[in-house]
Amino acid sequence: MGQEGRQAAAYIVASGRGRTLYVGVTSDLVRRVGEHRVGAGGGFAARYGCRVLVWFELYGGMDEAILREKQVKGWLRARKITLIVAGNPFWEDLYPGLVE
């Protein structure tokens, strides 16, 4: 996904299967998850080791992605886990598929 592949996205990174979750939004998923993977930024995700991309949805614009991020952030943990498992039952890292 080069410059032309940039697209708004809501996403979840985790510190491992069933562990700490971070819900975020970005206009460049590959760049942002790459930052998470190296612990850049020093915020919550870095502090708790959230480096594995376990869920994401792409949107046509940032407004839609931000609405979805807020919705998912407002959910209880169990509902977030259900969302992840529905599309990624083994909590595989989805990042390598984005950069191939």
Nearest of 48, 42, 61 to residue 12 by alpha carbon: 48
Integer-rounded Cα radius of gyration of the chain? 13
Q: Higher-confidence residue: 66 or 46? A: 66
**Could you read off the pLDDT of 5-52 as tens digits, one per residue?**
589 999 999 999 989 999 999 999 999 999 999 988 779 999 999 999
How buried is 85 (Cβ within 10 angstroms: 0-12 exposed, 13-18 middle, 19+ buried)?
middle
How buried is 97 (Cβ within 10 angstroms: 0-12 exposed, 13-18 middle, 19+ buried)?
exposed
High-pLDDT (> 70) share of the chain, %: 95
Average per-residue pLDDT for the chain: 92
How much helix, strand and coil, in percent to the nearest 5, is found in the chain?
45, 20, 35
pTM of the predicted protein model: 0.92
pLDDT of residue 1: 40
Instruction: Name the CATH superfamily housing domain 3-99.
Output: GIY-YIG endonuclease (3.40.1440.10)
Number of CB atoms found within 10 A of residue 77's CB:
10
Nearest of 58, 48, 38, 42 to residue 14 by alpha carbon: 48
Q: Residue 80: is its pLDDT beyond 70?
A: yes
Q: Higher-confidence residue: 15 or 100? A: 15
**What are the residue ranges spanned by the domains of the chain?**
3-99
High-pLDDT (> 90) share of the chain, %: 83
Q: Are 46 and 54 in contact (CB under 8 A)?
A: no
